[in-house]
Amino acid sequence: MEAGQDASLFLAKMLEELDSKRRQVSYQDLCRSLCARFDLPQLARLRSVLFCTACLDPGFPPPCSRTR
């Protein structure tokens, strides 16, 4: 249960960071800020969870080329 609480806390902090920086900084600056504030393993785990969630969407990934 503790790992789930850690993940929830991490996600809450991440969302706070994204919300506080919204439309104020460039994408590159946002990435630098997140990398400075959070550990790489946490960011990698979040990326993995987001990717797995996106894979549940039948429209993901969008087709790279369409047949005409």
**Confidence category of residue 1, pLDDT binned at 50, 70, 90:** very low
Rounded to whole angstroms, how far apart are CA atoms 50 and 35?
Answer: 17
For residue range 10-68, list pLDDT tens digits in order: 778 877 877 887 778 888 888 888 888 888 888 888 888 888 888 888 887 766 555 54
- Rounded to two decimals, what is the model's pTM? 0.53
Query: Per-residue b/e over 27-47, b at no fewer than 16 CB within 10 Å?
Result: eeeeeeebeeeeeeebbeebe
The answer to whether residues 17 and 33 touch, using CB atoms and an 8 Å cutoff, is: yes
